[in-house]
Structure 1
Amino acid sequence: MLKLLWIATEIPKSEAVRISNTMMWIFAHAFLFPFLLLVPGGVDALSWVPPGPVEEVRKYDLCEGQNLSVPWNLTTDPVENIVSIKWTWKSGATSEERELASLLPGDSVNATDSRVGHVGSAGITINNVSASDTGDIEVKVTLQNQSSQLVVTHVARLLVMVAPDVENEKLTLEVDYTPYQTKTGVSYATLRCGRFHHRGVPTVHPMIETPDGQSVSIAAHNDHEYIYPLDPGGTTVGQYRCQLPAKNLCQDANLRSNVVDVKANDIRLNKLEHLLSQLQQEHDHDKQNTQKGLKQTKQELKQAKQKQDQTKKTLEGVKRDVQKNHHTSEELGHRVNAMRCETGVVTMYTPANHFAYRGDQYITFSKSFANKPAVITSHCLIDSDGGVNLRMTMVVYALSARGFKLEAKPWADTYIFQWTVCWMACLV
C-alpha cells in the first residue's frame, strides 16, 4: 500500500463561518464527485489517508506507442472534501514543466493534451507515449477540512524506451583480423557488432556470446558499431554471436546476429603478417639511414675533390708565377712538393680475414710532405648486419709528414662483414 506527502496550511479563525458554509456545500456534493471512492484491501492502487508519510516513486518503463495507466485512487476522511486535482509533467533532465490536466468538483477533466485521460479517483492515463513524455508525472490533490487546507501529492516516473535503429533491421557481426591496440597488448582478432544508425534510449549495450557459453557486455563503440577485441594474451577460438536483449528492443525476442568463426590459423597468420610488417618498417628505416650516410659521404668526397681541384689550380698558378719570374726548376719542384695532395684506400675488415678487425693500420705516404699535412677520411665500402643499428668510429692519430695511423671500429652490437676507408692528405 502506497503512502503520500501531505502539506497543511492553517486558515485564520476569522474565516471560520465562511469555511463552515463552504464545507457544508462540498459535503453535500461529495457523493456526486465521480472519483471519490473507497479502495478495497489488496487492490493494486493507492490509498491516501492524509496526513500520511511520503510514498516511494513508482517507475513505469514503456515503449514508444504504448499506453500509460497510473491508477491512483483517493479515500478521504468524512470531514474532508476535494477542492481540486491537478496533474503535471516535469522533465527529469531540465527544468521544463507543463500541466497535463485539472479537475474541479462537478466538472469534467480539463486536459491540455488529447492523449490524456483519468482513471480511478485521481489516476491518469496517457495514450501513445513518445520519447518526449519521459519524466515525472505528479498528481496534486487539494483537500479542505474544518480548520485547514491540505495538499497531497504523488509522483510516477515514466521512461519511454526507444528501440535502436539497426541497418536493414538486421544485426551483423564481423571478425576483423587487423591488429588492434588495447590496454593489455595487441589483439589480432576484433569483433565488430553493428551497424547502428541510432543506439536507442536508453543506450543499448550488446552482448557477445562466447564459444564457452558466456555472455559479455560490450561498451566500446564508434559511430556505427560496437567493438570487442579478443584477449591478446589468450584468444578463445570458436564461434561468436552478438545479440541485443529484448528489454532494449521493446519486443518479445532478442535480436541476434550471424555467427562468426574465429580460427586459430587466421590469428597466427595475422600475427605473423603484423610482425613481418614491423620488420619491414625497421629495415626501411635502416636503409634510409644507410642511404643518408652514403649520401653524406659522397658529398664529403665531392667537397674534397673540389678542394683538390682548387689546390691544382693554385699549383698551376704557382708554376706560372715561377715561369714568369724565372724561378729555377729546383725551386719550382720544392714548391710543388710542398703544396700537394695524396689519396689512398685502406681495408679494415675483409671476408678473407674472417670478418675480424685487422687492427689499426699505418699508412705511409708515397713521398714525404714538406710539413705535416691535413688528413680527411671517409667510408668507401660498408657491409654490415642490417638487423641492428650501424655504429662506427674512425680516428686518425700519429700524424706526421711521412704518414699516419688509422683506427676504424664499430661499437655496441654492430657487426661488420667488410669495410674499406678512403683517405686524402693535403698540404697547402
Structure 2
Amino acid sequence: MADTVAPSAAKTLKVALLGAGNVGAEVARILLTDADALAERTGARLELAGIAVRSIDAPRTFPLPRELFTTDASALVRGADIVIELMGGIEPARTLILEAIEHGATVVTGNKALLAVDGPSLYEKADAAGVQLSYEAAVAGAIPILRPIRDSLAGDKITRVMGIVNGTTNYILDQMDTTGAQFADALAEAQRLGYAEADPTADIEGHDAAAKGAILASLSFHTRFALEDVHCQGITSITANDIAAAREAGYVIKLLAIAEKIDGMDDDGTETSGVSVRVHPTLLPRDHPLGAVHGAFNAVFVEAENAGQLMFYGQGAGGAPTASAVLGDVVSAARRLVLGGPGRTETTTGRLPVLGIDAVTTRYYIGMDAADQPGVLSKISALFAEHGVSIETMRQTVHTEPGDGESAGSAELRIVTHRAGEAALAATVKAIEGLDVINSVTSVLRVEGV
C-alpha cells in the first residue's frame, strides 16, 4: 500500500506516555491494541515503555497493565525516543518536555495551556535541538486543523481564521438557542453530561479558547503569539433575551476565536500590517457555516488568498477523538525517525506585530432599554453620526409591562451597525450610556460573517 512503510524487525521506538487520564488511557489502548497496524504505517514497532502517573492505583477508563505505570516521569523521559505529554497544566509538564528535548526525544503534546503561555520558548528549544514538537491535539480535538494550516496551506497566505474551538461553550449557547434555557441551567446540564468541569471558569470565561487562538494565530501568520496577546471575553454575560433577540434578527450567538491580518498605513504613508487575535461572543448569520455547528462540536473557518474559504468540522473533545489527533502526530514523528530528516515544529519567518482590539474593524449589535418618548431615536442617531458610525438596522419594541432588565413604559431598541473601527464603536456605546433617555445598555456584541 502506498501509505505504509515496511516495518523493520530490528527497529523499535520507545514511547513514554505522561498522563493516563481520559485521553492518555485511550492513547495507551491504541498503542497496545493496534501495535501491528502502527508498525506497518511507521516502519518500526512503537513500544509503550511506560506511563508516568501521579497515582498508580487511580481508576482508568481502560484496563492497562500495572507494570507499565511509574511515578518516576523523569527516568521514563530520559529513555524514550518519543514522549507523549498529556498531563496538562504548566508544571511539571514544561520541565519534562524540556528534559525530553534535551535528551533528543520527539515530543507530542496536547497541552494548549502550556503552549499558549510558553510555546515560543519551547519551539525555540526544539528547533535548536533539531527535534520535532507536535501538538495537533492541542486545538479542536480530533479535527485535523494544525497540520493543514502548517503544511497544506504553506504555499498560500492565510488572511483570517475564525473558529468555535471550545465545545463546552458551544453546547451552552446551543442549548440556550434551541431550548430557550437560561445560562445557569444550560451550564448545569453541560456539567451533568461531562462537557463542563466542576469549575468551568476556563471555558465560560474564554481562557481555553484564547489559548487555542494563540496557537492558531502562530501557525497561520508565522509569528509567535502567546496568551497575553489575545483579547478575551467569555459568555457569562449572555442572557436568554440576547439569544432570543439574535434569533429574531436572523443571528445565532457563538463564542469565536478570531485571528486576522489587518493592513493599515502609518501617518507618514508607510504601509503596515499586524495581526489581531481575539475571543468573544459573536453574532453570526444563521446560514453561516459556523452558525450551524451544534452541541459540543468544534469547527474552524479558514480564509486564504488562493484557497478561498475552508471549513474544518468535527468532535473537539473526548478521549477517543483527541487520542486520534495524538496518534496522528506520533505516526508522523515515528516515520521521520525511521526515514530520517530534521524535526519539524513551526515556521516563524514573519514578525508581524500584535494589534490590540482597537485596531479591529467590525460591526456591533447594541441592545438598550430607552424611554418611550418623542425624540429618543433622533438623539441616538445623532450620537452615532457624531462618532462616524452608520446604523444598518434599528428595531423598537414598546413594553407596557416591565420585563427582565426593562422599565415600565420603556422601549427596547436593538441596533446593528455597519462596519466601523472598534474604537469608534466603543466610544459610541459609552456616549449612549450617558444619554438621559437611556435607562440601560443591555447588551453589546460584535457581529461577524456578513
RCO higher in 1 or 2 (8 Å CA, sep ≥ 6)? 2
TM-score normalised by structure 2 residue count: 0.16
Structure in which a larger fraction of residues adopt helix: 2
TM-score by length of 1: 0.16
